[in-house]
Amino acid sequence: MDASVKRGHDAAESGAKDRTILAVLGATPVFSEAIHVGRPNIGNRQRFLERIETMLDRRYLTNSGPFERELEQRLSGMLGVRYCVAMCNATVALEIAIRALNLTGEVIVPSFTFVATAHALQWQQITPVFCDIDPLTHNINPRKIEHLITPRTSGILAVHLWGRPCAIEELQAIADANGLALLFDAAHAFGCTYGTRKIGGFGRAEVLSFHATKFISAGEGGAVMTNDAALAERMQLMKNFGFAGYDNVISIGTNGKMNELSAAMGLTHLESLEEFARTNRTNFETYEHNLGGIRGLSLLRYDEENSPNYHYVVVEVDAREFGLTRDQLVRVLHAENVLARRYFYPGVHRMEPYRSLFPDARHALPETEAVAERVLVLPTGRGVTTVDIETICRIIRYAAENRGSVARALKETQQK
Ligand SMILES: *Cc1c(COP(=O)(O)O)cnc(C)c1O
């Protein structure tokens, strides 16, 4: 990769609108290997391997093991939330939280989210009712909720997208006024705050993800945080088939347990949280510095007050101003082996089964549709270097400067 990065530098210094500087214009890709979004952050190997040795020595692999319990304690202590129920992943954690909250009928949820948020409802025959987002925050718009409430509505499932907190107070007021349960999908928001209060303690419960691509990972993993003792107890039962002791099943349940391997990884990665956060922040600032002044391209900002984890570098492409569409820019980047992603395109309401179930949903979701057309997520995390980021920014800048020839080249290849 060094030689190709150097080529990027040379091209930058010449400053020329050289027809050969972009792969879509015939150059060789800048990166010889793919640069992915969401490449896992890896913590201290030695610490992880020590824990694995411990796990093997004690022959305790799962079922409320010492690492799982330690992780639950660490998380509740860290977030200042009374109960933490660790699970095998956030999707199952959402399903269990939804079930333990006795949600039924309809639940109001954004469509601009990862599909699991809606699937966790539909999976148990609860209808997700899609609510539009605020185009500035990308989060569910509280002003669009009340007219979606029907006698069948039992809850609101809001998402702290990109780790930026929802309008929590407005949402809580709507939930209270209408007797609805408020649940948060906090899969992006680990380590973030809402002002001075940590994400994890809001609503009836908040769900965290420790999937490999998330800020802190356990390979696969999730957790539900709640201050409600009875709710926590129902979830502990449900995640273990309803077992209340040997041979004693007292409720319906599933297998939502977190195994010890995952818990060992989660505990290890928690120890590197500060380091991961610093890297993310430096990466973000590198993007900020190098993408400045490109017309039609805006970097989504984070509010320092909410202690962002900077895990997502999100840009919005205004096709008219930028001169290329978001999708054209994706093709430019992919040609260079930069696998930027169109999260959460095209919106959950345009994915099955929702597209078929609710063919008219998009009429109520104009901001979701517009944002889904503009958003692009760029690579960050510990797997990406500062030089990589500078190179990615240079590609974007070249694409903007050469928009005419880029558009023509893309059109030609499309016609083939
Ligand atoms: C990743 C993610 C999930 C699902 O998490 P898993 O741990 O992979 O099941 C749910 N919601 C959102 C918003 C996510 O980004």
- 180-229 pLDDT, tens per residue? 999 999 999 999 999 999 999 999 999 999 999 999 999 999 999 999 99
Question: How remote is the CA of residue 92 from the centroid of ligand 1, in Å?
Answer: 10
Please state, in angstroms and rounded to a whole number, the distance separating the CA atoms of residues 112 and 345.
8
Are 265 and 128 found together in one domain?
A: yes
Question: How remote is the CA of residue 401 from the centroid of ligand 1, in Å?
Answer: 37
Checking if the pLDDT of 128 tops 60, the result is: yes
Q: Are 258 and 242 in contact (CB under 8 A)?
A: no
Q: Which domain holds residue 343?
A: 3-33+273-415
For residue 45, what is the enclosing H or E element?
helix 45-58
CA nearest neighbour of 237 among 246, 250, 224: 250
Contact partners, residue 168, CB within 8 Å, separation at least 6 = 194, 202, 203
Q: Is residue 244 part of a domain?
A: yes
Question: How remote is the CA of residue 187 from the centroid of ligand 1, in Å?
Answer: 5
Instruction: Give the model's pLDDT for residue 9.
Output: 44
Instruction: Give the model's pLDDT for residue 413.
Output: 85
Which of ligand 1's atoms lies nearest the C-alpha of 213?
Answer: 1
pLDDT tens per residue across span 38-75: 899 999 999 999 999 999 999 999 999 999 999 999 99
Are 282 and 265 found together in one domain?
A: no
Are 27 and 69 found together in one domain?
A: no
Say if ligand 1 is within 6 A of residue 208 CB: no
Q: What is the DSSP string of 81-98?
A: -SEEEEES-HHHHHHHHH
Are 281 and 376 found together in one domain?
A: yes
Checking if the pLDDT of 392 tops 50, the result is: yes
Say if ligand 1 is within 6 A of residue 89 CB: yes
What is the CB neighbour count within 10 angstroms for residue 246?
A: 5
Q: Are 360 and 366 in contact (CB under 8 A)?
A: no
Domain boundary among 270, 293, 327: 270
Please state, in angstroms and rounded to a whole number, the distance separating the CA atoms of residues 145 and 107.
11
Please state, in angstroms and rounded to a whole number, the distance separating the CA atoms of residues 244 and 235.
12
Q: Is residue 40 part of a domain?
A: no
Checking if the pLDDT of 20 tops 60, the result is: no
Closest residue to atom 2 of ligand 1, CA basis: 187
Q: Is residue 121 part of a domain?
A: yes
Are 257 and 345 found together in one domain?
A: no
304-321 mean pLDDT: 98
Are 151 and 298 found together in one domain?
A: no
Structural domains of the chain, count: 2
Are 162 and 261 found together in one domain?
A: yes
Checking if the pLDDT of 78 tops 90, the result is: yes
Domain boundary among 253, 270, 287: 270
CA nearest neighbour of 195 among 167, 174, 215, 170: 167
Q: Which residue matches tokens 């002003």?
A: 143
Are 134 and 259 found together in one domain?
A: yes
Are 202 and 325 found together in one domain?
A: no
Q: Is residue 39 part of a domain?
A: no
Are 13 and 61 found together in one domain?
A: no
Helices within 292-385 (DSSP H only): 319-322, 326-335, 354-357, 366-374
Domain boundary among 270, 299, 319: 270
110-135 mean pLDDT: 98
Q: Is residue 110 part of a domain?
A: yes
Question: How remote is the CA of residue 383 from the centroid of ligand 1, in Å?
Answer: 20
Say if ligand 1 is within 6 A of residue 211 CB: yes
